[in-house]
Amino acid sequence: MNYEINIQNSEIFFDRELSWLDFNCRVLEEAADPSNPILERLKFLCITESNLDEFHMVRVANLRSKLSAGNDGRSLNGMRFSEIIQAVSSKVNEFIHKQYEIYTNSILPELKSNKINLIEDYTELTESEIELIKKYYKEEVSSILTPLSIDPAHPFPHILNKTLNLAITLSSQDENNKKKDIFAIVQVPSVLPRFWELPEQNGERRFFPLEGIIKLHLSDLFYGMLVKEIHAFKIIRDSDLSIAEDKVRDLLTSVKKELKNRIWGNTVKLYVHKSAHGQVKQYLQEMLDVQEHETCEIPHVLNLSDLMYFYNLNNTSKLKFPYIESRSVIQATSVTSLFHLIRKQDHLLHHPYDSFQGVEELLKASSEDPKVLAIKMTLYRTSGDSPLISYLQQAAENGKQVTVLVELKARFDEERNIIWAQKLEDSGVHVVYGIVGLKIHCKAMLIVRRESDKLRRYVHLSTGNYNSTTAKYYTDLSLLTENGEFTEAVGTLFNSLTSLAKIPRLNQLSVAPQYLKDDIINLIEKETANAQNGNEARIIMKMNSLVDPDVIIALYNASAAGVKIDLIVRGICCLVPGISGVSENIVVRSLVGRYLEHSRIYVFLNKGDWKMFLTSADCMPRNFYKRVELMFPITDKSIKEKILNVLDMILKDNVKTRILSSDGTYHKLFPREGEKVVNSQMELFNI
């Protein structure tokens, strides 16, 4: 069969939402992998739940909103939005079944074999334990609870997003001694630990869930009533911010207001315990306005993400991945020597293999160094206790010109960003709150220093966020340089962003939304032309997601021309590999392991003179059109070799790699007989 290579051909694309669900399945495989330590497996299980909740809060909510507005359009693969929602619901139900199969048959027994016991049935409790629970309930729990009965005078309460709740049916007698049924809801308080540790028995640690403690004492909350049924449930709400940015006068105020509105988003998913059959489930569906395909029955404990409680238990390090210390790349004895090292040569940092502390030390030194006159920086996400914030504050308090471009619309980090951005302002930092219509997603820092001969500028550019926490388990690459072309371009970029001027074509740097997509396609097309002219041609692209149809078409054309293409795509991939005459020269890998693959690396053979780029952008329409992104070249020969070695190691991985087939399935690689075992994420500590 001959396939036309154009966007209208739905047979050459996968749907992005279903592809994302496949990614979450690959994460779930890690939860089932017995070679991973048990608490790491539990962590992977928790991650799949958090991922799935966010997927419903944003992606499913978005599809639902389109349908409500009468828009039943089609995705790249030809499916209508209504069909995608049905397919997602079916796939999610299968996925949840697998989650709980792994939880019940694998994770719980292994936790128990390691003397960690989750007691879900109160009949397993001893009398002394029940007395202790009663004491804990009276002293710590009871005063926090608010029982909410529902009748004509008390309407169905507002249920908070992702909270665990108990749906309760009660029987009572009215003044005429007639029995009547009452429905009530109790929210399981999130301010208390989800699991309460009982006294140790023979070296065994035992834990009882908070909702179980509440269930044992419901008669205290509903005195004089008979408790007939108790069923746990949780809901997921539409939580995507919706701001008409072209009409707002104050972006900060608008984001704050929209954050308050987020709690009122429509319900997009209802999870109920499987015991809540019949009238209770139907009543919840009716009150929350969800349909049957948007409801999922859960066989065991709800809110699997709360199981992270056990990951953080003390004295459990032997049940986790062994600690590996990151390397210190730049070892300077003084502030002067630190900048001298950067002047001497470019430095590549590969996190988490190289410590993020080097970036923090550079900013700390700059905040204290009297020769540093100015610091400019973008901040998309950072950790809650990030020392970077205090260093920026200190720099401003020391009289330096400090400018920080803060992205208020960093999804689910909006409140945190607002808080620390206002702290920066209080210290005298010039804070620019994003740009109307765009997210500032590029990662850049510029330091201006007066030295003996002249003003010098130093630049840090990265594929990942300025976040010391995620830098410990996200793989990212960053560059420290004093290269004049780079520093000039980054300085122009900052001035363009703060002045709201048009961003010019920059030497060495490619910026979205103006130029990045066209530049990437041009690079692919040049490699295609090289193949057509009889030259060896190769492309290696590593990213989180591949969605943009124009980039995919360019890759198809390159493959058809004979370019050998290796794609390392962790998450969503809408490109279909292995189609004869279209993508038979394309191999798509997904690497899921201990670290979250986050670096974006785009490499082109270029007739043997490798062109190599690092970027903050995935190949997605949102990155190309709705964000300020940055792609920068690697020019240093030794750094090029290092990155090629990194990519080569990833391409040799036969432990954590999955290969995408043309039917949309992923197949995990295993070492062949006699073949060297290569877990690239571990091997890269030696590069």
Q: Mean pLDDT of all residues in the chain? A: 91
Contacts of 645 (CB under 8 A, 6+ apart): 687
Contacts of 230 (CB under 8 A, 6+ apart): 166, 167, 168, 215, 218
Distance separating alpha carbons of residues 158 and 151, to the nearest angstrom: 15
What is the residue type of 173? Q
Residues 400, 363 contacting (CB under 8 angstroms)? no
Residues 291, 94 contacting (CB under 8 angstroms)? no
Catalytic residue among 56, 273, 347, 441: 441
Question: Helix, strand or coil for residue 580?
Answer: coil
Contacts of 321 (CB under 8 A, 6+ apart): 36, 37, 40, 594
Residues 486, 459 contacting (CB under 8 angstroms)? yes
Query: What is the DSSP pairing of strand 226-237 with strand 165-173?
Result: antiparallel
Query: What is the DSSP pairing of strand 600-604 with strand 611-615?
Result: antiparallel
pLDDT value at residue 153: 61
> Which among 74, 56, 83, 87 has a CA at the least distance from the CA of 549?
74
pLDDT value at residue 445: 97
> Which among 447, 464, 465 has a CA at the least distance from the CA of 456?
447
One-character DSSP codes across 260-290: HHGGGPPEEEEEEETT--THHHHHHHHHHT-
376-433 per-position pLDDT tens digit:
999 887 766 788 999 999 999 999 999 999 877 655 556 676 777 788 889 999 988 8
One-character DSSP codes across 581-622: TTTTTEEEEEE-SSSEE--EEEEE-GGGS-EEEEES--BSHH
Strand-pair partners of 96? none
Contacts of 124 (CB under 8 A, 6+ apart): none
Strand ranges in 74-132 using DSSP code E only, listed in sequence order: 116-118
Q: Say how many residues make up the chain.
A: 687
Low-confidence ranges of the chain (pLDDT < 70): 1-2, 152-154, 173-177, 241-263, 383-384, 409-415, 417
Tell me, yes or no, if 340 is annotated catalytic: no
For residue 189, whether the previous peptide bond is cis, meaning omega lies within 30 degrees of 0, is no
Distance separating alpha carbons of residues 674 and 686, to the nearest angstrom: 22
Assign residue 430 a region: left if phi > 0, alpha if psi is -120 to 50, beta otherwise? Answer: beta
Q: Locate 643 and state its tokens.
A: 């990155």
Distance separating alpha carbons of residues 632 and 318, to the nearest angstrom: 41
Give me the helices (H) in 103-206, please: 108-113, 127-136
Q: What is the CA radius of gyration of the chain?
A: 28
**Beta carbons within 10 angstroms of residue 14's beta carbon:** 22
Ordered domains of the chain (ranges, CATH): 10-97 (1.20.58.310), 121-245+266-299 (3.30.1840.10), 335-505 (3.30.870.10), 511-686 (3.30.870.10)
pLDDT value at residue 244: 47
17-38 per-position pLDDT tens digit:
999 999 999 999 999 999 999 9
